[in-house]
Amino acid sequence: MSQEKVFADGFSFKRNENAPEFVVGRLSIKVEDAIAFMKEHQKNGWVNVSIKYGRSGNPYCELDMYEPTNMSKNQGDMSKNQGSMSKNVQPHVEKEEDELPF
């Protein structure tokens, strides 16, 4: 069951091969078009956009239409509960004597 692609109007992503390693690319947003697109496609105040490569090798922005099934929602709820239980665990803090002198 494949859905038709919905390109994210107003969004443009480009990679720069000369950029440092930590720079993934540049996202340009045409405000008027992007706002109209987001208003049309928002769900609960959010719009998810995927950055993909086309057949040409160029990146493009596409509306992410993933909808979790009931089973995935239940699994997500279970992992949230497990995450809240682990919040009570105190992180290990290094003592000052373990620090290097410089």
For the segment 68-93, what is each residue's pLDDT rounded down to a tens digit?
888 766 665 555 555 555 555 555 55
Q: Is the pLDDT of residue 65 over 60?
A: yes
Residue 97 inside a domain? The answer is: no
**For the segment 14-60, what is each residue's pLDDT rounded down to a tens digit?**
999 999 999 999 999 999 999 999 999 999 999 999 999 999 999 99
Range of the domain at 33: 1-71
Residue 78 inside a domain? The answer is: no
* Confidence class for position 6, pLDDT limits 50, 70, 90: very high
Residue 102 inside a domain? The answer is: no
pLDDT given for residue 70 in this prediction = 81
Residue 57 inside a domain? The answer is: yes
Residue 89 inside a domain? The answer is: no
pLDDT given for residue 50 in this prediction = 96
Number of domains in the chain: 1
Measure the CA–CA gap between 34 and 27, rounded to whole angstroms.
Answer: 12
Measure the CA–CA gap between 2 and 94, rounded to whole angstroms.
Answer: 52
Residue 34 inside a domain? The answer is: yes
Residue 88 inside a domain? The answer is: no
Residue 57's contacts (CB-CB under 8 Å, 6 or more residues apart) are none
pTM above 0.75, yes or no: no
Residue 27 inside a domain? The answer is: yes
